[in-house]
Amino acid sequence: MAEAARTNSPPATRSPSARSSSTRSPSARSSSARSDPTDTARSHVSSTGPALVRSEPLHLDISKIGVHVPLGRLGLNTDGTVQVPPVERPEQAGWYSRGVTPGERGAAVILGHVDGGGRRGVFYDLGRMRGGDTISVGRADGSVATFVVESVESVAKSSFPSQRVYGPLDHAGLRLVTCGGAFDQQRGHYTNNVIVYARLA
């Protein structure tokens, strides 16, 4: 197994797209558009459902798959793609800080690896998530934003749904992104992205 050599990053998006291996929208390194996803995610849309004020996320808890980790901050690389946690630290997860915070109206995005360096990553079991499962994000203001999973999908990196992941929402949403599918030994990365879509409870 050549896991240590894998490029396990979630998509790399470029603003509304992160360079998903071939897409141009932010995604943990699976998108590739040149615009800042933040501009899209904060567009004005009519609002529905509960929402919280802006407060930086500090901790991620997903009991279903045993994830209890602090959250780092991720921005953009010099080429406009969305940053991902260091592959040598696959246990880390990061929040795309140029977008909304989890709980605010809009699409908040958290990225993590499926594996790295021969070890399981923080989102190794992300594909096991199902509709109705819950995700909690501890915030700097002391509040906890609890989300309910609406859907989970595995998509080819070449077809990364940047608009759905980073686009504007009329409610407080959360997207978790990692790699999935088969590992392409020739290209050195996974063929797909696993994406969890959730809504503030």
| Residue 10 confidence (pLDDT) | 57
DSSP for the chain, written as a single string: --GGG-B-----BTTTTBB-SS-SS-STTTB--SS-HHHHHT------S-------EEEEEEGGGTEEEEEEEE-B-TTSPBP---TT-TT-EEEETTSPPBTBSEEEEEEE-SEETTEE-TTTTGGG--TT-EEEEEETTS-EEEEEEEEEEEEEGGG--HHHHHS--SSEEEEEEEEEEEEETTTTEEEEEEEEEEEE-
| Average pLDDT of span 5-28 | 40
Q: Contact 17/31 with Cβ under 8 angstroms?
A: yes
Sorted by where each starts, the structural domains of the chain and their CATH numbers stand as 3-36+53-200 (2.40.260.10)
pLDDT digits (tens, 9 = 90+) for 96-124: 999 999 999 999 999 999 999 999 999 99
Q: What is the mean pLDDT of residues 148-164?
A: 97
- What distances in angstroms separate CA 168 from CA 115, 125, 147, one per listed residue? 30, 27, 17
**Distance (Å, rounded) from C-alpha 28 to C-alpha 31?**
7
Average the pLDDT over 169-183 and give the result: 97
Phi, psi dihedrals of residue 128, rounded to the nearest 5°:
-85, -10
How remote is the C-alpha of 3 from its chain's centroid?
Answer: 21
pLDDT score for 112: 98
C-alpha 145/C-alpha 135 separation (Å) is 8
pLDDT for position 49 = 87
Q: Is the pLDDT of residue 191 over 90?
A: yes
Mean pLDDT for the chain overall: 84
Distance of CA 2 to the CA centre of its chain: 25
Question: Which pLDDT tens digit goes with each residue over 29-79?
Answer: 433 333 455 544 444 445 688 999 999 999 999 999 999 999 999 999 999
pLDDT value at 84 more than 50: yes
Is the pLDDT score of 9 beyond 90? Answer: no
Residue 26 pLDDT greater than 80, yes or no: no
> Is pLDDT of 27 > 80?
no
